[in-house]
Amino acid sequence: MAGKVSAMTMHEVAGSFGGLGFGSGRPVIMAGPCSVESEEQILSAAHAVKAAGATALRGGAFKPRTSPKAFQGLGEAGLKLLAEARRQTGLPVVTEVMDGSHLDLVAQYADVLQIGSRNMQNFSLLKEVGRVGKPVMLKRGLSATLQEWLGATEYIVAGGCREVILCERGIRTFETYTRNTLDLSIAVAAKEISGFPVIIDPSHAAGRRDLIPALSEAALAAGADGLMIEVHPKPEAALSDADQQLNFEAFRSLMSRLQLLPVAAIETVEGCRSEIDRIDDQMLELLARRMQAARRIGELKEQNGMATYQPDRERLILERLVASAQGLGPGEVRAVWEAIMGCSRRVQERAG
């Protein structure tokens, strides 16, 4: 088992990594087409993913294709289009470097350099990419063990790079229904052992768009720092990975399911109503659990001879919540929690 390759904590890395925003508490969402295909395609995708709440634009200009006859990417023209998309949207750009001879060129345009699965053990490329001074996203090899994956990160770190992002994208197994098998257990272990942020790529893992929402939810529940999702304006016409790319509407609904869709992106009264209904359902469930806890604490206070009403405790609760009120005014926080604590007191009095 490889040892710890980085002593960095998420607290220390916050704010770095090419502006991706790790450590903010919100997952990093890299989204965009598998390949940059045209100006219209990449600009429309960049604006669509940005509006839906993505935090980075991911697109390939140099593509590692199984057949040399398949579309190989637009090369430098694609990099220029990515830079224009960044200028228009403000999204940092993540793109793959396939070959050491392109490294300087790709580094001029990219905020994060991606090393693809097929190059995970291209040790000379790993050493070179580690010297560039930009964050590197290292995708797990098609059949790499944890130890091999972490060993590869050490080559990048040896070049001076401290900003390595690991990306689990599924491994080869006997299963053929999916393109690869998403290996969340090793993603969790890689994060724990290396201390580096881990991104999950359900698009290449599943190879089919129908599984992406559930796998994305599972990845975030398992503690992944973010997702990489392939998004294309017309997936069925994509020049690469047509079966796994989401269209704009499907990406938006994925972001809504993950509760990452910015509220400002909701365009209709009905849309806002359904968001409010969803939030109310969640709040009701939480309030019911809070009242259960109140009932129980009422019993425990009675057993311990304590008074139900503890004004100091209520004051502390309010102070803590007002201090962390995310965009809510102190008056709003007080009004809501005074009502909640009033109910809680009545529940405790009945329980005691």
**What b-and-e string marks burial along 211-226, b requiring 16 or more CB atoms within 10 Å of the CB?**
bbbebbeebbeeebbb
Distance CA 105, CA 19 (A): 20
Q: What is the DSSP letter of 93?
A: E
Nearer Cβ to Mn ion (198/205) = 205
Distance CA 219, CA 335 (A): 37
| Residues comprising the chain, all counted | 352
Task: Tell whether residue 33 is a contact of ligand PEP (CB under 6 A).
Answer: no
CB of 175 to ligand PEP, least distance (A): 17
Distance CA 33, CA 203 (A): 11
Distance CA 303, CA 244 (A): 59
Pick the binder of ligand PEP from 8, 38, 64, 301 (CB under 6 A).
Answer: 64
CB of 204 to Mn ion, least distance (A): 6
Distance CA 265, CA 56 (A): 17
Q: Other C-beta atoms within 10 Å of 121: how many?
A: 16
x/- letters, 4..43, toward Mn ion (CB under 5 A):
------------------------------x---------
Q: Is 149 exposed, middle or buried (0-12, 13-18, 19+ CB in 10 A)?
A: buried
What does 139 bind: Mn ion, ligand PEP, none (CB cut-off 5 to 8 Å by kind)?
ligand PEP
x/- letters, 132..161, toward ligand PEP (CB under 6 A):
-------x----------------------
What does 191 bind: ligand PEP, Mn ion, none (CB cut-off 5 to 8 Å by kind)?
none
Residue 304 C-alpha from the chain's centroid: 46
Q: Are the C-beta atoms of residues 53 and 261 closer than 8 Å to each other?
A: yes
Pick the binder of ligand PEP from 204, 209, 232, 252 (CB under 6 A).
Answer: 204
Q: How many residues bind Mn ion (CB under 5 A)?
A: 2
Tokens of 50: 């940005």
Query: What is the enclosing helix (H) or strand (E) of 272?
Result: helix 269-303
Site for Mn ion in 313-332 (CB under 5 A): none
- Strand segments, DSSP code E, in the chain are 28-32, 56-58, 93-96, 112-115, 136-139, 164-168, 198-200, 226-230
Task: Tell whether residue 34 is a contact of ligand PEP (CB under 6 A).
Answer: yes
CB of 142 to ligand PEP, least distance (A): 7
Pick the binder of Mn ion from 91, 241, 255, 347 (CB under 5 A).
Answer: 241
CB of 70 to ligand PEP, least distance (A): 12
Task: Tell whether residue 202 is a contact of ligand PEP (CB under 6 A).
Answer: no
Nearer Cβ to Mn ion (128/241) = 241
x/- letters, 158..187, toward ligand PEP (CB under 6 A):
-----------x------------------
CB of 169 to ligand PEP, least distance (A): 4
The window from 8-16, 41-49, 115-123, 261-269 that contacts ligand PEP (CB under 6 A) reads 115-123
Nearer Cβ to ligand PEP (23/135) = 135
Using Cβ positions, the residue closest to Mn ion within the complex turns out to be: 34
Pick the binder of ligand PEP from 41, 89, 95, 117 (CB under 6 A).
Answer: 117
Distance CA 61, CA 76 (A): 7
Query: What is the enclosing helix (H) or strand (E) of 332?
Result: helix 330-351
Q: Other C-beta atoms within 10 Å of 43: how many?
A: 16
- Positions in the binding site for Mn ion (CB under 5 A): 34, 241
- Positions in the binding site for ligand PEP (CB under 6 A): 34, 60, 64, 96, 116-118, 139, 169, 204
